[in-house]
Amino acid sequence: MQRFIDKVWVDDARVYAKTRDGLVASYPFAMWEHLIAKSGNKWSPAQKERAEILFAKYPKLKELHSLLCQLRQVFADKKCNREEGKKKLHAWYKAVTASTNREIWK
């Protein structure tokens, strides 16, 4: 079931999301840590919903998470040889340098 997020707001320890059908969901910040640490294909349906909320509020975070997942894929591919690995790592590096997020460099 896909919900369309209408509004997202944050207070001291929780993130709230209001859907277009009037439902309000509340999530503690601790739930976000596990979400970011996993790649998107390993998320549960509830985590996918929370990711939609998080990325709606922080679109830069979506790009950073995508770059992290791409780097994981470079190192997770056991079938590629050294030269292919270098090419994939170089392509990932080009994507990072093309990124508009300067938080990567901090």
Domain ranges of the chain: 5-57, 60-101
pLDDT at residue 5, as a whole number: 52
pLDDT at residue 1, as a whole number: 41
pLDDT at residue 49, as a whole number: 80
Residues of the chain with confidence (pLDDT) below 50: 1-2
**Paired strand residues for 73:** none
Only one residue has tokens 């460099």, namely 105
Please, which residues have CB within 8 angstroms of residue 50's CB and are 6 or more apart in sequence?
Answer: 27, 31, 32, 35
pLDDT at residue 83, as a whole number: 93
Can you tell me the distance from the alpha carbon of 45 to that of 85, in angstroms, rounded to the nearest whole number? 32
pLDDT at residue 88, as a whole number: 93
pLDDT at residue 11, as a whole number: 63
